[in-house]
A and B are shown apart, each in its own frame.
Chain A
Amino acid sequence: MFYREAGDFKTSYAADNQTFPIAFDRYRYWVVLAIAFLVMPFIINDYWANALLIPFLIYAIAAIGLNILTGYCGQVSLGTGAFMAVGAYSCYKLMTAFPDVSILIHVVLAGGITAMVGAAFGLPSLRIKGFYLAVATLAAQFFLVWLFNKVPWFYNNSASGQISAPERFVFGVPVTGANTDAWAVYLVCLVFVTGSAIIARNMTRGSMGRKWMAIRDMDIAAEIIGVNPLRAKLSAFAVSSFFVGISGALFFSVYLGAVEVGEVFGINKSFLVLFMVIIGGLGSIFGSFAGAAFIVCLPVVLKLIGVDLFGWPPDLVAHFNLIIVGLLIMFFLIKEPHGLAQLWRVAKEKLRLWPFPH
């Protein structure tokens, strides 16, 4: 009906190249943003924020980061957890070393530091491919976690070996530490998510993203047509790690507030983010959001249904949770191996023809 290109005339190259070529999509995008920025902060409460929205937003950033590396550049990484830890620890060191600088700057800098570390650990990708690379990134995962656990400098010699975020303010409102309000934390995360998504979207459709995709589709062929694999792969590692680092910094500073590296940024985190990317859809920014939402919400929803609605004992529900999550993953992969993003694309295609599909 109203979801179609017909009648929506483009008069400039800029208009022709825009992210959402269909008018309805553009309006929808602005409406979502408006709700997220202008409505949600007023209706949010602690439970919504801490159990669902904030983890969703932060994981979405990590998923965008990993999607750039795995989805766009084709390099499978299982080191996401460790790179998040790099972000978290650099953020902590920066926060305690320069208490007067704004936390927002620290988070971005933490992303920058992670980008450098990520690029360094991306070097083996020039020789190692496929699953061998995936397992090789586990070296980064285990080594970095061990390092943060072992060297007292990283946690400022605290007796417990944990890092905990001191109180910091943005425009006079506390966003880390004990006395935060859900809306403030939510807004900080939202700003970073929006920024990351816009940057990532524009990077991936620019020349850089095209190079990444060329490498993904066939690296030798890409090399022949003039893509420098060293640059392309390392830039993918760096950009991906930048986002992952930001998400790690946020995860530590505004969400959890205190972190023990082996427990929070262990190998499970790496797998979790990879899940999000694959369930959401490789090579799709929307997919990163959908995957993050799916993985964050699913256990909570299952728990609510099982424990609160049906009154089953929590341990049975926990076991069923595992079974159902496993079944759902398998079901999704069988029905739609390209993830939620593909479902969304199919839905849009159908919508274009609706209500006269013939």
Chain B
Amino acid sequence: MSADFLYGIEVILNGLMAGVMYALVALGFVLIFKASGIFNFAQGVMALFAALTLVGIMEGQIPFSHLINEIFGTKIHNFGWEVPALLAIALTLLVMVAFAWAVQQFLFKHLVGQEPIILFMATIGLAYFLEGMGDLMWGSNIKTLDLGLPQGGSRVIEELSANLGGDDFYGFFIDKLDMVASVVAIILVLALIAFSQYTKHGRAMRAVADDHQAALSVGISLNFIWVLVWSLAGLVALVAGVMWGAKSGVQFSLSLIALKALPVLMLGGFTSIPGAIVGGLIIGVGEKLFEYTVGPMIGGATENWFAYVLALLFLVFRPQGLFGEKIIERV
């Protein structure tokens, strides 16, 4: 097999992995949109906030230390202990649940029945708030996230596949972190599906997604379901934040991964969890292949816009996304 062909395959494999990473972010959007019709722009910032909180707790950082020092003239930074990773993850999840409750209690409870664009704006306000809060609580320098996740290309795969091609082929490159992320994503999706199919609250969640009023009339508390959904989105945000943060360190730019998830959402449909996964894979492969084949001819760095153009092309044929609910319009 020619080296070019094999490299093409390598690009596709890596595209699939990247797609999983995008889908991780997109999942959070889908959960909230499906259950409440809110297009949650703050999902990216939630990932940042969750990752910041995780690192902060693990390192025993004192929240708001900068502010406290400024007001009281003290010089405190650290509690002086380190929290084990699992406990820290559990504590972070608690923080995210508290956040979900606060969002529902103070924001969306008062915005029930508003138009989607107003709800969308509210989440942008939320994004600003959360970004400032994250900075204030944990500081705006880059933090290293060390959960002991494997990094680097897998040598085994590289060596095994090296003799497939000629001398120009060095074997497939697959990032170990990406593989971990894929496994985590699969577990996460399976868990989410199991939760929504087989548990009481999961079924209630689906009922709310189908019809708010009908769900209310059979005695489901919308308030509770929405807190639950935001908590789940917080969990997904934490996973995405950890996976992305392992690569770049935890810093402000982590919030920009939301932009990577939007074409995925468009393509997969805002309301479908499998859509987020399939959309992620298509976008990942599509943009990587385009950059590999056409990119060098037109100067590279095409991935950002190509993802959107690809999604746009799909939408022209299926305006509700691949797996989105069919839009039925009545006059």
Residues of A bordering B, CB below 8 Å:
70, 76, 124, 127-132, 135-136, 138-139, 141-143, 145-146, 150, 218, 220-221, 224, 267, 271, 274-275, 278-279, 282, 312-313, 315-316, 319-330, 333-334, 337
Once the chains bind, are B121 and A142 in contact (CB under 8 Å)?
A: no
Q: How far is the CA of A128 from the CA of B270 in the complex (A)?
A: 13
From the candidates A135, A320, A334, name the one contacting B136 in the complex (CB within 8 A).
Answer: A320
Q: Which candidate, B87-95, B190-198, B238-246, B299-307, is the interface stretch facing chain A? A: B299-307
Give the residues in chain A near B39, CB-CB below 8 Å: 131
From known contacts A128-B316, A267-B259, A330-B129, infer whether A278 and B304 are also in contact, taking CB-CB under 8 Å. no
Report the minimal beta-carbon distance from A133 to chain B, rounded to whole angstroms: 9
From known contacts A139-B312, A278-B118, infer whether A319 and B125 are also in contact, taking CB-CB under 8 Å. no
Report the minimal beta-carbon distance from A183 to chain B, rounded to whole angstroms: 34
Give the residues in chain B near A316, CB-CB below 8 Å: 66-67, 70, 136
Give the residues in chain B near A275, CB-CB below 8 Å: 121, 124
Once the chains bind, are B311 and A135 in contact (CB under 8 Å)?
A: yes
Q: How far is the CA of A204 from the CA of B262 in the complex (A)?
A: 32
From the candidates B128, B140, B309, B331, name the one contacting A329 in the complex (CB within 8 A).
Answer: B128
Once the chains bind, are B315 and A218 in contact (CB under 8 Å)?
A: no
Give the residues in chain B near A127, CB-CB below 8 Å: 315-316, 319
Once the chains bind, are B130 and A326 in contact (CB under 8 Å)?
A: yes
From the candidates A146, A312, A323, name the one contacting B70 in the complex (CB within 8 A).
Answer: A312
Majority secondary structure, B binding face: helix
Q: How far is the CA of A76 from the CA of B129 in the complex (A)?
A: 23
From the candidates A136, A138, A271, A320, name the one contacting B132 in the complex (CB within 8 A).
Answer: A320
Majority secondary structure, A binding face: helix
Give the residues in chain A near B315, CB-CB below 8 Å: 124, 127-128, 132, 136
B197-230 vs A, Cβ < 8 Å mask (1 yes, 0 no) = 0000000000000000000000000000000000
Once the chains bind, are A150 and B111 in contact (CB under 8 Å)?
A: no
Q: How far is the CA of A328 from the CA of B135 in the complex (A)?
A: 18
For this complex, 10 residue pairs linking A to B, each with C-beta atoms less than 8 Å apart, are: A128-B312, A128-B319, A139-B311, A143-B308, A150-B298, A279-B121, A320-B136, A322-B129, A326-B129, A329-B121
Once the chains bind, are B270 and A131 in contact (CB under 8 Å)?
A: yes
Which residues B104-134 have CB closer than 8 A to chain A?
A: 107, 110-111, 114-118, 120-122, 124-133
Q: How far is the CA of A320 from the CA of B126 in the complex (A)?
A: 14
Q: How far is the CA of A278 from the CA of B135 in the complex (A)?
A: 26
Once the chains bind, are B70 and A319 in contact (CB under 8 Å)?
A: no
How many residues on chain B are close to A (CB under 8 Å)?
A: 52
Once the chains bind, are B136 and A130 in contact (CB under 8 Å)?
A: no
From the candidates B67, B130, B266, name the one contacting A136 in the complex (CB within 8 A).
Answer: B266
Give the residues in chain A near B167, CB-CB below 8 Å: none
Once the chains bind, are A135 and B331 in contact (CB under 8 Å)?
A: no
Q: How far is the CA of A40 from the CA of B218 in the complex (A)?
A: 63
Report the minimal beta-carbon distance from A127 to chain B, rounded to whole angstroms: 5
Give the residues in chain A near B132, CB-CB below 8 Å: 319-326
B32 close to A (CB within 8 Å): no
Report the minimal beta-carbon distance from A176 to chain B, rounded to whole angstroms: 30
Give the residues in chain B near A131, CB-CB below 8 Å: 39, 116, 120, 270
Give the residues in chain A near B133, CB-CB below 8 Å: 323
Q: How far is the CA of A59 from the CA of B35 in the complex (A)?
A: 36
Give the residues in chain A near B126, CB-CB below 8 Å: 326, 330
Give the residues in chain B near A324, CB-CB below 8 Å: 132
From the candidates B110, B117, B327, name the one contacting A278 in the complex (CB within 8 A).
Answer: B117
**In the complex, given contacts A130-B116, A135-B265, what are 16 additional A-B residue pairs having Cβ atoms less than 8 angstroms apart?**
A124-B315, A124-B316, A131-B116, A131-B270, A132-B266, A139-B308, A142-B304, A143-B305, A150-B301, A271-B124, A278-B118, A323-B136, A326-B127, A326-B132, A329-B124, A337-B114
Give the residues in chain A near B117, CB-CB below 8 Å: 70, 76, 278, 282
Report the minimal beta-carbon distance from A199 to chain B, rounded to whole angstroms: 25
CB nearest to A138 among chain B residues: B308
Report the minimal beta-carbon distance from A124 to chain B, rounded to whole angstroms: 6
Once the chains bind, are A334 and B111 in contact (CB under 8 Å)?
A: yes
Q: How far is the CA of A319 from the CA of B141 in the complex (A)?
A: 13
B263 close to A (CB within 8 Å): yes
Once the chains bind, are A325 and B128 in contact (CB under 8 Å)?
A: yes
Residue from A132, A136, A218, A271 whose CB has the most chain B CB atoms within 10 Å: A132
